[in-house]
A and B are shown apart, each in its own frame.
Chain A
Amino acid sequence: MTPLLHAQGLVKHFPFRDSLGRARGAVRAVDGVSLSVPQGRVLAIVGESGCGKSTLGRLLLRLIEPDAGQLRFNGEDVLALPPAALRARRREMQLIFQDPFASLDPRMTVEAAITEPLILHKLHRGRERTRVAELLERVGLRPELARRWPHEFSGGQRQRIAIARALASEPRLIIGDEPVSALDVSVQAQVVNLLGDLIRDLGLTFVLISHDLGVVRQIADEVAVMYLGQIVEQAPAEALFHHPRHPYTRALLAAVPGQGGTLKLLEGDVPSPVSPPPGCRFHTRCPFAEARCHSEVPLLSGQTHLAACHLQESLPSPTPIREGAADARLARLQAYFTEHTT
C-alpha cells in the first residue's frame, strides 16, 4: 500500500545576502529529510526550536517550495502540480498553526472563517450554516458563537475554531504545527484530548510537530526526531520512548520534567544551521562521541527503528523512563478538567 504522504530527500536552504545582493551563505533549515506517513497514522516530528521542524511542516504541504527532493500525496507528485491544481488539492491537506491569536483573520467572524474552505472548494453548498454548527459542536464550542469575532475568544477557544476550520473541508491529512504549545497549560490537555478524539473518530492522518514529548506520547504512533535539519531517529512511539538509540533522543527524553533531571546529557547550544558540524552533526554535544563521529556522516539505518548514529549498537543501555512520571502533569490536569467540565 502506498503511504498517504511520502517525502524523499527534502531540502530547504534559506540564503541570506549582503547589501549588494551576493549570497553569503544559507540557513540549512531542512537538509535531506525523507519520511512516509501511512493513511490513518499519526507521525510526530520532535526536536528543539530551530531544528527545522516548522519549515519541514510547510514543505510537506508545499506552502514553501523545496530546493530539492520529492513529495507525493496519495501517490501523486505534489511538486509537479500547477498552481490551480495545487489549490484544489489543498482541500485534502490542512494546517493547524501554533498561535491561535495570529492564525485567524481578525476581520472575519467565526462563521465566515469556517465557511471559507467550503466556499473555496464548493462543498456543502446551500447548507454551509448547518455544517458550521456541526463543526463547532464537534470541537466543543456552542454553535451560537458562530457570529462572533475572533477577538472575543480565549486562546483555547480560538484554537478550537482553527481546528474546526481545518476540518471543514474534510481533509485526509492535517499537519499540526505545535498546535498546543502556545496555549495555557490548563487548556493544553483539553485540546490534546480533542485532537486525539478527532484523529481516532475521523481516521485522520496527522503530522504532529511538537517539542512537548508528553503531548507526542499521548497521540503519536510514530516519532521522528530532528536535529539541525535532519532526522536522527525514527521509530514507532513505544519503541522510541522505551529504547531510544540515538544519544540526542536519550537526552531529549531525559530532559522531560519529572524524570529526575539529574542526567546532564546535553551541553552547550545547538550549532548554527548555517555551518553545521562535519561528520555527525550531534558530535559537538554528544557525551559518547568518538573520533569517527567528527568526520564520518552517520546514515539512518534499521528496519522499523531507524537511527543515524555510529555507536548505536555499543552505547550503554539508557536509563528507563519512569512510567507515568512524564505524563503526571498532563494526567493531573486532565483529571482536573474532567471533574470540572462535566
Chain B
Amino acid sequence: MSVAAIESGESPGRRALRRFAQHKLAMFGLVIVVIFVAAAALAPWIAPFDPLETSWSRLRQPPSWAHPFGTDENGRDVLSRVLHGARASMMAGVIAVGGAVVIGVPIGLLAGLGGKWMDMVISRVADAMLSIPFLILAIALAAFLGPALENAMLAIAISASPIFVRLARGMALDARNTDWVEAARAMGNPPWRIGLVHVLPNILPPLLVQATLAIAEAIIAEASLSFLGLGQQPPNPSWGSMLNSAQRFIESAPWLAIFPGLAIFLVVLAFNLVGDGLRDALDPRSQKR
C-alpha cells in the first residue's frame, strides 16, 4: 500500500470504475457506443454525401465502392442517411431518458420520503402508467402531441418516467429505515437535505444502470415511432423511418433495411452490455475486486 492510499482512500465510485474497466463485454459495448456517438456528432463532416440529396440516376443501387451501403428509392446515399440517422436515435435515447430521470427520480424520492398520502397518490399514478405497455403509451402520447422528433422524445420521456419513480421510491423507502438516515435526522438535517445529500447519492448506482438500459429501449421506441411516422419527419433521416420505406423493397433492395436495422441492433446491444457491466461493477455484493 502506497502512502497516498493511506491518506485518501478509494471512493466507491472509483472502485466501480476500476471494476468496470476490467469487464470485457462492457468495454466492448462502451467502444461501440463511443463509435456511434462520434458518428452522430461528426455526421456532417464524415458522411460522403448529403443525406437529403436525391438523384434519379442512381435509384436503389446495391452497395458499391462509391456507395458502401447502396442508395435508396430516391437515389440518396444510405451510409450518409444511417450516419445522420444516428443523431436522431442517440439524441432521442439520451434526451428522452434524461427527461425520464429528471421527471421520475424527484417524484420517486418525494413518494419514498414524503408522507403516506404523497406516496399513495404518486404510486397509484405510476402504477396506472405502468399498466399500459411502454410502447403503446409512447405511441398514444406521440400521436396526441403531433408528429415531430421533439414530441416523440417527450412522449418517450413521459412513458419511461414511472420506471424511475418506482425505482427511486423503493430505494428511498429502504434508505429511510437505515441508521444513517436516522443519524442524519438526529443531526438536524432538514428533509430536503436528507433526500438530496444522503439518499440520492446512495441510490444513484442502480439508477445509472437503469438509465443505461432505458437508453436502449428509448432508441427502439424512437425507431418504432419514426417507423410509424410519429417521430423524425421525412425527408430527414432516422433509422425507423428508413426501415419503414425499406419495407416495399425488402426483396428487390434488402440493403435498404439491413443497414439501418443493423445500426439499431448494434446500438441497443451495446447499451445493454454497458448497462450489465455497470450493474456488475456497482453491485456492492459482488466480491470481485
Contact = CB atoms under 8 A, between A and B. Distances in A.
Interface of A: 61, 63, 84, 87-91, 94-95, 97, 99, 102-107, 109, 116-117, 120-121, 144, 147-149, 151-152, 162, 165, 169
B201 A107 contact: yes
A87 B188 CA distance: 4
Given A105-B202, A148-B8, A149-B10, A94 B186 contact: yes
Contacts of B9: 109, 147-149, 152
Interface size band for B? 20 to 34
B201 to A, nearest CB: 4
Interface in B183-242: 183-190, 193, 198, 201-202
Interface stretch (B32-40, B48-56, B156-164, B174-182): B174-182
A146 B112 CA distance: 32
A147 B180 contact: no
A-B pairs with lowest CB-CB distance, top 10: A90-B188, A148-B9, A147-B8, A102-B179, A103-B179, A87-B188, A107-B201, A95-B186, A105-B180, A152-B9
B6 A144 contact: yes
B12 A106 contact: yes
Contact of A120 (B8, B188, B201): B188
Contact of A121 (B6, B183, B188): B188
Contacts of A109: 9, 11
A91 B11 contact: no
Nearest to A93: B186
Interface of B: 6-12, 178-180, 182-190, 193, 198, 201-202
21 contacts: A63-B186, A87-B188, A88-B188, A89-B188, A94-B187, A95-B182, A103-B180, A103-B183, A105-B202, A106-B12, A107-B12, A109-B9, A116-B184, A117-B187, A147-B7, A147-B8, A147-B9, A149-B10, A149-B12, A152-B10, A165-B183
A105 B11 CA distance: 13
B187 A90 contact: yes
Contacts of B6: 144
B186 A144 contact: no
A169 B183 CA distance: 14
Contacts of B180: 102-106
Given A102-B179, A152-B9, A107 B185 contact: no
Nearest to A83: B190
